[in-house]
Chains A and B, each alone.
Chain A
Amino acid sequence: MLKIKNLQVKLEEEDKQILKGVDLEVPAGKVHAIMGPNGSGKSTLSYVLSGRDGYEVTGGEAMLEDEDLLELEPEERAAAGLFLAFQYPVEIPGVGNMTFLRTAVNAQRKARGEEEMSAAEFLKFIRAKAKDLKIDADMLKRPVNVGFSGGEKKRNEILQMAMLEPKMCILDETDSGLDVDAMKLVSEGVNALRDEGRAFLVITHYQRLLDHIKPDVVHIMARGRIVKSGGPELALEVENNGYADILAELDA
């Protein structure tokens, strides 16, 4: 599904290399997790894949199935099936959550040459999805993320994911700012979307999210590279010992 080869990225405005050759492959139907110390480049990877400004790709490639992601505008990447659940979902005063979602769903459908969803169809669809995530009608009516609690914002991200039905979902520290109950709710939302045709890349600092969203593979990212990959036990190892041993191996 997602194939990243030797991806190198620097900040556009500064002479600072963030990603120094990332290699990563996430097959369809699988959940991969990326863990790593602060400043290792995890969030940068998610932003570069989704097309945020401010970064310059200096080498390598990133393919979503047979689409070259790096050649596409952010909206084209979304229409191709990429979704990023933001670490800090953006508040947009004045744009209703419902209007936002309907515009997004229909823009993607249009870009893929599919028929747009009617207002009635959309309403039925969103009500069902919102109910699963315990999102009430009021949250749908309010402006996007405005006045939402941390948990509500993350649930709203998962709602968007459920509505847009992407092929490749990247979750950037979706557990940050969540209490235990909210984490459970969000994880259930994610697990409900697990599917043969869909892949996940879960970026997190903590093993506890991976108790709820069980990964197939865990990668450790440090200093702009994937430095170690393994099974779910690797996350436990990090939880118990921190990154010191892994970083020491790098220096050795």
Chain B
Amino acid sequence: MSVAVKQESGLISVENRPASGAWAAKAREEAAARLTKMGLPKRRDEYWKWTRPEALLADTAAHAAVFDYEGEAPVFDAIDRLKIVFVDGVFDAAASDDLAGEKFEIERLSEAAAKDIHWASQVYGVLEASGHNPVPRPLAAHNSAMANDGVVIRVTGRVERPVSLIYQHKSDSSDAVLHNVIKLEEGSKLTLLENGTAASRLSMVTEVDVASKAEFHHVRAQGRDHERQLATHMYARLQTESMFKSFTMSVNGKLTRNECVIEILGDDAIAHIAGAALGDGNDGVFHHDDTVFITHDAVNCESRQVFKKVLKNGATGVFQGKILVKPDAQKTDGYQKSQSLLLDDDSQFLAKPELEIYADDVACSHGSTSGAIDEEAMFYLRSRGVPEKIATDLLVLAFLADAIDEIENEAIVEDIVSKLEAWLERHRS
């Protein structure tokens, strides 16, 4: 990522905000004010103990070099989808499909922001603003203040063909601040795919507003960009009987922090967030941080957090996950699973699972574990003729299975699994 923010004698000035129409100017100004008030993340902040914020700030963050992946087909390549391409953080109309379609409207953020009145004002920066309590997320506020592009999508019906955001990185010195706004109207459905490298420094925020009985599916692949230092924020607000499901695959990259903040406001809603991260410290540094905050503020809702990390050669994994159940959120069913598979003694997994419950009729639990490859299973596989390296790959994929199971589309599952298999094969030790 990086945040182009200067901090002088304790004051933050946000410079060069993009030109905008009335609603966006107001939203950006308010975001800048929030940022100024909360300040940049610091090492002593409770949720920045394990991830160095300096790597994500403009003054100190390095630019990632363009990575040559030698013609290897990117993820989702064979999936039928509507493609929206950004190059170094800027929408590329020529490379993108026609954005017109039935049951949805897609605009560039820069176009929507130029108008004086736009529905996006109900979402843009609103979910982000609401998500600072009790934990401030200044990088997200900065993004809202500074974002220069992204997509604005309104979904009015059930859209079966996925919308795919493809981020490409072609310059060694590009700074991109992307902000996506997605609004699902009542009973609608959307599957959003995201992949690619985006820019040499990047900040990314996505806000998703899910109306009642609407369904949002999200599959994101973070790979390829081997020097990636990135912070992403995903915000979701769920109304009655709605569903939110998000899965992220992360490999490579030096530092990735994926934050997800979900507010469940309507009864009988379902929120699942999952991640599978594979890191090999021999690629350089690998530090992957999943920070999740789910608030239950309605009755009879279900939330799942399923995060799996496979770490080797000095890789580091961080999980900070919280379930907050408000006093009236009875019959909440919340489960949080964060597990790491450490393939050697050099890697480490740091986990902070938290439950904060104010309602009395709830079922909430968490399970956080670190382990090695199961020797019994390994011997069983080898005794059947499976060589140790292939057996390791099989057991790693088996370990990731619960997280991958959160993806509903079978073709996408197969695609993700094939990418993971290829990565594992390249990283056999």
Contact = CB atoms under 8 A, between A and B. Distances in A.
Interface of A: 50-53, 73-75, 77-79, 83-84, 86, 89-90, 92-95, 99-100, 103-105, 107-108, 111, 143-144, 160, 164
Contacts of B366: none
7 contacts: A50-B383, A75-B388, A77-B383, A90-B376, A92-B374, A92-B381, A95-B394
A107 B385 contact: yes
Interface centre among B385, B388, B398 (most CB of A within 10 A): B385
Contacts of A78: 382-385
B386 interface: yes
A107 B383 CA distance: 11
Contact of B375 (A50, A53, A79, A89): A53
Interface in B371-429: 374-377, 379-388, 390, 394-395, 397-402
A211 B414 CA distance: 48
Contacts of A99: 394
A52 B402 CA distance: 29
A92 B398 contact: yes
Contact of B394 (A73, A75, A83, A103): A103
B383 A84 contact: yes
Contact of A90 (B377, B398, B402): B377
Given A77-B383, A90-B377, A104-B384, 6 more contacts: A52-B383, A74-B379, A74-B383, A75-B386, A92-B377, A107-B387
A134 B398 CA distance: 27
Nearest to A166: B385
Given A75-B387, A99-B394, A92 B382 contact: no
Contact of A164 (B379, B385, B387, B401): B385
B398 A94 contact: yes
Nearest to A84: B383
A147 B153 CA distance: 44
The 7 tightest CB contacts between A and B, nearest first, are: A94-B398, A78-B385, A94-B401, A108-B385, A74-B382, A104-B384, A90-B380
Contacts, number: 80
B394 A100 contact: yes
Given A94-B399, A99-B394, A100-B394, A75 B382 contact: yes
A108 B387 CA distance: 9
A111 B398 CA distance: 24
A152 B379 CA distance: 20
Interface residues of B, number: 23
A95 B397 CA distance: 8
Contact of A73 (B375, B381, B382, B398): B382
B388 A73 contact: yes
Nearest to A85: B383
Contacts of B380: 86, 89-90, 92, 144
Contacts of A100: 381, 384, 386, 394
Nearest to A108: B385
Nearest to B397: A94
B379 A107 contact: no
B395 to A, nearest CB: 7
A101 to B, nearest CB: 8
Interface centre among A73, A89, A103 (most CB of B within 10 A): A103
Interface in B352-379: 374-377, 379
A199 B429 CA distance: 37
Contacts of A105: 385
B418 to A, nearest CB: 13
Contacts of A143: 398
A89 B395 CA distance: 16
B383 A51 contact: yes
Contacts of A75: 382-388
Nearest to A82: B383
B37 to A, nearest CB: 46
Contacts of A164: 384-385
Contacts of A50: 383
A100 B383 CA distance: 12
Interface centre among A84, A86, A90, A111 (most CB of B within 10 A): A90
Contacts of B394: 95, 99-100, 103
A74 B383 CA distance: 5
Nearest to A145: B380
A164 to B, nearest CB: 7
Contacts of A77: 383
A13 B376 CA distance: 17
A107 B401 contact: no
B386 A103 contact: yes
B376 A107 contact: no
Contacts of A160: 384
B385 to A, nearest CB: 4
A51 B382 contact: yes
A104 B399 contact: no
Contacts of B385: 75, 78-79, 104-105, 107-108, 111, 164
Contacts of A89: 380
Contacts of B375: 53
Given A94-B399, A164-B385, A103 B379 contact: no
Contacts of A92: 374, 377, 380-381, 395, 398
